[in-house]
Amino acid sequence: MKTIFSFLFTGFIAFSYGQEIQKDTLPANELSEVIVVGTKTPLHEKQFKTLASVDEFLQKSNKIDLIKRGAYAWEPLINGMATERTVITIEGMRIFGACTDKMDPITSYVEVSNLAEATVSSGQQGTSHGNTIGGAIDLRRRDGSVQKPGLDIALLTGYESNNNQKIAGAGINYKNETFYINTDVMFRDADNYKAGNSKEISFSQFTKMNLSATSGYKLSENKLIEGSVIYDKATDVGYPSLPMDVSLAEALITSLKYEVKPLGGKIRSWESKIYFNTITHTMDDTKRPFVPIHMDMPGWSDTYGFYSNVKAHFNDHHLSGNINGFYNRSVAEMTMYPADPNENLMFMYTWPDVRTLYSGIHLEDHWQYNSNSALTFATTLGYHGNEVASEFGLQSLQIFYPEMSSTKSRFLKSFSTNYSYENNGLISGGGVAFGERAPSVSEGYGFYLYNSFDGFDYIGNPNLKNEQSLEANVYIGKTYKKWSAKVTSSYFHIKNYIIGIPDPNVAPMTIGANGIKIYAALDYASIWSNDLTLKCTLNDHFTWTSKLQYYLGKDNDNGNLPFMSPLSYASSLGHSQNKWNGMLSVKGNATQTNFNPTYGEDRTPSFAILDASIGRKFNWNANRIQVNAGVENMLDAYYSTFTDWNNLPRMGRNFFLNISFR
Amino acid sequence: MNNFIQAASLHLLFKLQMKTSLNYFVAVIAMVFTFASCSSDDNNTTNPTNELDGLVKIQQFDNDSHTIELYSKNGLLQQGYNDINIRIKDKQSAAYVKNATITWKPLMHMTMMTHACPYSALTKTNAAGTLYNGFIVFTMPQNTTEYWDLEINYIIDGVNYTAISQIDVPASAKRTLNTFTGTDGTKYVVAYIEPTAPKVAVNDLKVGVWKMENMMNFPMVNGYTVKIDPRMPSMGNHTSPNNVNAVQANPGELYTGKLSLTMTGYWKINLQLANTSGEILKGETVTDAVEASSIFFEIEF
C-alpha cells in the first residue's frame, strides 16, 4: 500500500511544475462525448424517445456502432472496435459478460431507468478504468446526492407497435439532509419484430426485468457512503441471427462507495469503491425447429474489484490519479446430447475457468498553461495475470499447446499526450498515444467457440503477445453565428492485431462449420475513423443537426477489417416550442463495399430510413406528464446494416408511445 | 526514472502476492506427498501383502501342493488385452512362493479346434515380492459351448509343477480388439491397451500388434504403424487435432502414440495398419463418404 501511495505522490510531484494561471473549470475533453442515456436526468425530457433502450441511446454517439444479433443486447463498437478492444464500465466498475458468443455485452444488464449518461472516450483517453485500444464507455447513474429533497415518484410506460413491446417502469426517490435512496424497476416484454414489408423475424422476442436501488448516507458535510445494487434478469431472449437463443441472462451488480468531496485545499475529491458482480448466462436451443445436436451452453462470470480515484488542482494543473484492480472468474461449458440417450453426454469447457487478476494505476495531468491552450498527459500502467484454474480445461487446451502453463502474466502500458486549443469559437487539438491490451478470455483460452458469422470454430491462443496501438487524433471545430461544425479523425496503427486465422490442418468440431480459426496476431492493422457533426440553429424553435461517419480498416495485406462503417449519415430537424417538441430525421448508409469475406462479411446495400416523432409536456397539479409518440422507419424499408450479424434485417415500420409521469 | 522503479516494484508486489499463495499451495502439496510416499515406502518393505494395492482377485485354483491366485485391476478378465498378476501359495506352509520360474498358456476350446492367443512371458514385478506379471490378449469371448482355460507351469527348486483351470472371459462392452486378415494374407491381432481412464486431454495411447503364425503362436509384429483417427459419430463424426500414430520405440515393445480427445462421450478410434514400408494392410481413411474404418476401437467416458 505504501508503495502505491509513494508512487502516486511521485507522480504528482513530477507533474506539478508550471505556470501560475489558474482556471477552475475545465473545457470538456474534446474527444470525449457525453450522451444522455436513460430517464434519470431532466435532459431526458428533451429526448424524442424517452424509453428507448440503452442501445438506442448509445447509437446516437458518433463513435459508437452496434453489432446486432437480434432485437436485444447489441454489442457496442467504439471506433469500429468490439468488446475485447474496449473497456465498458458501469460507474467505473469492470463487468465481463458470461457468454462465449458475446450475446451479453454489459450494456444489456442495465436499463435506462438506472442511468443518466454515458461518457464515450476514444482510444487511449479511455484508459482510466483499464487498458483499452478502441476506447471506453462509462455508464453513469444520476448523482443521488444532488437531487431535490423530498419524495419523488415516477411512473413510466411505453408501447411499440412493431414487436408488441410493452414497457412499464416506476421509480421512487427520497432524500433528506443526510440520507437518500433511489429505487427503480423497469420491465420490457416484446414479441418477434417485423422487418420491412411485414416480414416477421422469428426468434427476436425478449423479456427483461431490471431492478435497482442506490442509497447514500452523509457521514459528515463532505463525506458520503453509498451502496448500490442492480439486478437484471432477461428471459426468453431470441437471437435470430445466431443458432441459439438465451433462456436466462441474469446479473447482480453491487457496489459500496466512499466519497470525500470537496476536500479543502488542493485535493478536490477522493472517491473509492469496492464492487462485486455476478453474471449467469444460459443459452438455449430447445425452441429451434431444427438443431443438428441439442446442446447446453451455460456461462458464468464473477468479478470482484475496487478503485480509488483522487482529483486535485495544483495551480494550472488538474490532476487525477486512479488505482484500480479486479479479479474475474470466467467459466463456460458446453454439453451436447447424443441422439442415443444411452450414450454418455459430450462435455467440454469452452472457457476453462479462467481467472484474471488486474491491478493498474492511471495518472493524468491536464495542464491549462494559458487561457486558450492546454496539454494533457496521461499514463496507465497495469499488471494483468491469467490463470487457468480448471485442470480439465488446462489439459483440453494442452491438446493444442502441449507446453502451455496454467498462468500467464503481462505488464500493460499506456501513454498519451493531447493538445487542445480554444479561442473565439474555434476549437482544435490533437494528440498521440501508445496503448496495449491483453487478449480476452476467448482470444486467450477459448475452446471450440463457434462463430456463426464466418462459420468457424475458434481456438484461443495463450501465447498471444500484447496488442499494441499507436494512435494519433485530431479535431477541429468552429462555431460561427448560428452554425457549428466539428470534424474528428483518429488513426490507429495496431501492432500484433489479434484475429482468428484459419488453420487448415485442424478439423472443426461444430456440425457444418467451415473450419477452425486459431487466434493469432497480424503484424499490424490500421483503423482510421472519421466523423463530422454539423449543427445549425435555424431560429428559436428549429435546430438542424447532421452527422457523417466513415471508417476505414485494413489488415497488413491491405484486406478490409470487419465492421468498419461505410459512409453513414444522419440528419435531423428538431423543433421545440412551448411544451411541444418534434423531430424529423433521415439516416442511412452508403453501400458497404469495404467488406471482407474472410471475416464473414458481404456487401451491404445502401439504405435510408425516415423517423419522426412528436412530444408534449403537460403539467397537472404538481406533476409533470411527458408524452412522446413517433414512427420509426416510416416507409417500412427492408434493410440491414454493416453491423447486422449475418445480414439480419432491421425492424420495419414501428409506432411508439412513451409516457412518463412524475 | 523514479516512477519507473516504483511501477516496477508495484508490479513485483502483485507478483509476490500471487506467488505467496502459490507457495503455500506447493508446500501443502509437498507435505501431503511426503507423508503419502513415506507410508507407502514403509508398507512396501515391511508388509509385502501391499503388493496387492489396487489389485482385485479374479479367481484362484489348486493343484495338490499349491494354490494359484490371479489378480487384475478390476478383478475381471475380458475379451481383449488383460494385464494379469499371479502368485503361488504353498499349501503346507501357507507362504507365497518367491523363487518360482513360471510360464503360462491360455487356450481356447472351440467346438472343432483349440487355439491360443497373444500373450507375454511372466516376469516378477518386484524381486523381493511374490507377484508375477504378464498380459494375455483374449482374441474371442467365451460362449455357452466354447471356453478358455489357463495352464500354469512352474518350477520351484528344480521340481516341475502344473495347474490348470477354466477361466471366465466374457465379451467386452466396447470394441478393444481387432482380428483380421491383412492384404498380405497374414492374420493380425490389434488390441487397445491404454488409456484405461481416458481424459479430455492428449492421452498416452498404447496398443499392441501381433500376427498369427499358427494356432498356437502369436508373435509381436515389429516396425509397423497403427494410424489413428478418433471420431465422434454422434456429433457429425468430427475428429480431433494433434493425434500421433502409434509406433514402437524399440522392437518387441508395445506401440505408443498420442490420442487427443476434445470432449467426453463416445469416441470411435478408426485405425489403419501400415507395414514397415508404409503399405496399408487393413483399414480405410475416414472421409465424408467413408464414415468409419473397418478396424477401430471404441471408448466412452
Q: What is the pLDDT of residues A82-120, one digit of tens each?
A: 999 999 999 999 999 999 999 999 999 999 888 888 999
Q: What is the DSSP string of A326-390?
A: EEEEEEEEEEEE-SSTTSPPEEEEEEEEEEEEEEEEEEEEEE--SSSEEEEEEEEEEEEEEEE--
* Alpha carbons A5 and A638: distance in angstroms, whole number: 58
pLDDT at B39: 39
Output the furthest CA–CA distance in chain B (Å, rounded). 92
At A181, which helix (H) or strand (E)? strand A179-190
pLDDT for residue A182 is more than 70: yes
Kindly state whether A7 is in contact with chain B, defined as any CB-CB distance less than 8 angstroms. Answer: yes
pLDDT at A40: 61
pLDDT for residue A43 is more than 50: yes
* A3–B262 C-beta distance less than 8 A: no
* Alpha carbons A516 and A458: distance in angstroms, whole number: 6
Omega before residue A262 within 30° of 0, cis: yes
pLDDT at A38: 65
* Alpha carbons B138 and B107: distance in angstroms, whole number: 9
Instruction: Count other Cβ atoms within 10 Å, centred on residue B95.
Output: 11
Measuring CA to CA, how many Å separate A130 from each of A10, A278, A334, B119? 21, 19, 30, 64
B11 φ/ψ angles, rounded to the nearest 5 degrees: -60, -45
* B300–A336 C-beta distance less than 8 A: no
Cβ-Cβ contacts under 8 Å for A440 (sequence gap 6 or more): A83, A84
pLDDT for residue A623 is more than 50: yes
Residues of A whose CB is below 8 A from B286? none
Q: How far is B20 from chain A (nearest CA, A)?
A: 14
Give CB contacts under 8 A, 24+ apart, made by A197-200. Answer: A197/A636, A197/A638, A197/A652, A198/A636, A198/A652, A199/A638, A199/A649, A199/A652
Q: Which residues of A146-185 are buried (b: 16+ CB within 10 A; e: fewer)?
A: eeeeeeeebebbbbbebbebebebbbebbbeeeebbbbbb
A420: left (phi over 0), alpha (psi -120 to 50) or beta: beta
pLDDT band at A598 (very low <50, low <70, confident <90, very high): confident
Residues of A whose CB is below 8 A from B197? none
Q: Shortest CB distance from A344 goes to which of B9, B238, B300?
A: B300
The CA R_g of chain A, rounded to the nearest whole Å, is 25
At CA B215, angle to CA B211 and CA B217, rounded to 5? Answer: 50
Task: Detail the DSSP E strand segments found in A1-110.
Answer: 32-36, 64-67, 75-78, 86-90, 93-94
* A385–B264 C-beta distance less than 8 A: no
Q: How far is B27 from chain A (nearest CA, A)?
A: 18
Cβ atoms of A560 and A551 within 8 Å: the answer is no
* Alpha carbons A34 and A31: distance in angstroms, whole number: 10
Q: Which residues of A547-576 are buried (b: 16+ CB within 10 A; e: fewer)?
A: bbbbbbbbbeeeebbbbbbbbbbbebbbee
Beta bridge partners of B100: none
Domain A2-661 coded CATH 3.40.30.10: no
For testing contact with chain A, the best of B4, B10, B23 (most A CBs within 10 A)? B10
Distance in angstroms between the alpha carbons of the first and the last residue of chain B: 57
* B232–A512 C-beta distance less than 8 A: no
Find the chain B residues whose C-beta atoms sit closer than 8 A to any C-beta of A.
2-3, 6-7, 9-11, 13-15, 18, 199-202, 232, 234-236, 238-242, 260-266, 300-301
Kindly state whether A1 is in contact with chain B, defined as any CB-CB distance less than 8 angstroms. Answer: no
Q: How far is B231 from chain A (nearest CA, A)?
A: 10
Task: Detail the DSSP E strand segments found in A460-563.
Answer: 467-480, 483-502, 515-537, 542-555
At A104, which helix (H) or strand (E)? none
Cβ atoms of A484 and A477 within 8 Å: the answer is yes
* Alpha carbons A77 and A644: distance in angstroms, whole number: 12
* Alpha carbons A483 and A481: distance in angstroms, whole number: 6
Kindly state whether A605 is in contact with chain B, defined as any CB-CB distance less than 8 angstroms. Answer: no
Global pTM? Answer: 0.86
pLDDT at B21: 44
* B265–A402 C-beta distance less than 8 A: no
* B241–A293 C-beta distance less than 8 A: no
**CATH code for the part of the protein at B177-300:** 2.60.40
Cβ-Cβ contacts under 8 Å for B294 (sequence gap 6 or more): B180, B282, B283, B284
Residues of A whose CB is below 8 A from B265? 336, 338, 343-347
* A293–B10 C-beta distance less than 8 A: no
* Alpha carbons A580 and A46: distance in angstroms, whole number: 10
pLDDT at A408: 95
Residues of A whose CB is below 8 A from B300? 343-344
CB pairs under 8 A between A and B: 116
* Alpha carbons A610 and A572: distance in angstroms, whole number: 10
Beta bridge partners of B109: B114, B147
Task: Report ipTM (2 d.p.).
Answer: 0.85
Pairing of β A654-661 and β A150-160:
antiparallel
Instruction: Count other Cβ atoms within 10 Å, centred on residue A250.
Output: 18
* A343–B265 C-beta distance less than 8 A: yes
Question: Would you say how long chain A is, in residues?
Answer: 662
Cβ atoms of A118 and A59 within 8 Å: the answer is no
Task: Pick out chain B residues at pLDDT < 50.
Answer: 1-47
Interval A377-395 mean pLDDT = 96
C-alpha cell at A496: 500484433
Domain boundaries, chain A: 2-661
Residues of B whose CB is below 8 A from A346? 232, 234-235, 263-265
C-alpha cell at A49: 424517445
A13 φ/ψ angles, rounded to the nearest 5 degrees: -60, -45
* Alpha carbons B295 and B275: distance in angstroms, whole number: 15
Domain B51-167 coded CATH 3.30.1380: no
pLDDT at A620: 85
Q: How far is A478 from chain B (nearest CA, A)?
A: 39
Cβ atoms of A227 and A242 within 8 Å: the answer is no
Measuring CA to CA, how many Å separate B233 from each of A337, A511, B140, B236, B286? 12, 11, 26, 6, 11
Pairing of β A407-423 and β A165-175:
unpaired
At A505, which helix (H) or strand (E)? none
Q: What is the DSSP string of B38-65?
A: HHHHHHHHH-GGGGGTT-EEEEEEE-SS
Q: Shortest CB distance from A511 goes to which of B7, B201, B235?
A: B235
Residues of A whose CB is below 8 A from B301? 344
Measuring CA to CA, how many Å separate A615 from each of A41, A49, A115, A575, A586? 17, 9, 21, 10, 18
Cβ atoms of B86 and B131 within 8 Å: the answer is yes
pLDDT for residue A127 is more than 60: yes
* B262–A348 C-beta distance less than 8 A: yes
Cβ atoms of B162 and B152 within 8 Å: the answer is yes
Omega before residue B195 within 30° of 0, cis: yes
pLDDT (tens digit per residue) in A468-519: 999 999 999 999 889 999 999 999 999 999 999 999 999 999 988 999 999 9
pLDDT at B49: 55
* B10–A344 C-beta distance less than 8 A: no
The residue whose grid cell reads 445502401 is A606
* B266–A510 C-beta distance less than 8 A: no
C-alpha cell at B273: 495398419
* A14–B11 C-beta distance less than 8 A: no
